[in-house]
Amino acid sequence: MDAFIEILGKSVVVALIAVGALEWLKGFIPNAPAWVWRVLLAMACIGGGAVYGGGIFDMLPRGGLALAVGQMAYPLLVKIPKAIIKKLLPEIPEEG
């Protein structure tokens, strides 16, 4: 059970870093199509799974788990807070 918690924790960290990095990149390339961000998220999660997860053999399972966490966490990390801030502070202009 401890190993599962460790793997899940590392996958969450990889997913948070990947989502944060992609949101940062969106500031430089705001008009890129959605498929570009999906591919980059998958690459970042699988690469992070290899680097942070324990090597090339753990790359796909841990990267896949990080990708799943990143896809589920994106609304919680980006969309919901952005909507709340926009509702509370409507005078802030949109990016772009």
Q: Is pLDDT at 96 greater than 60 in this prediction?
A: no
Q: pTM value? A: 0.73
Q: What is the pLDDT of residues 12-30, one digit of tens each?
A: 888 888 888 888 898 898 8
Q: How many C-beta neighbours within 10 Å does residue 67 have? A: 24
Q: Can you give the pLDDT at residue 35?
A: 92
Measured distance CA(65)–CA(13) in Å, rounded: 11
CB-facing half-sphere around the CA of 89: CA atoms within 13 A: 6
What pLDDT score was predicted for residue 53?
Answer: 64
- pLDDT at res. 93: 66
- 56-86 residue pLDDT tens: 777 778 888 888 888 887 787 777 887 888 8
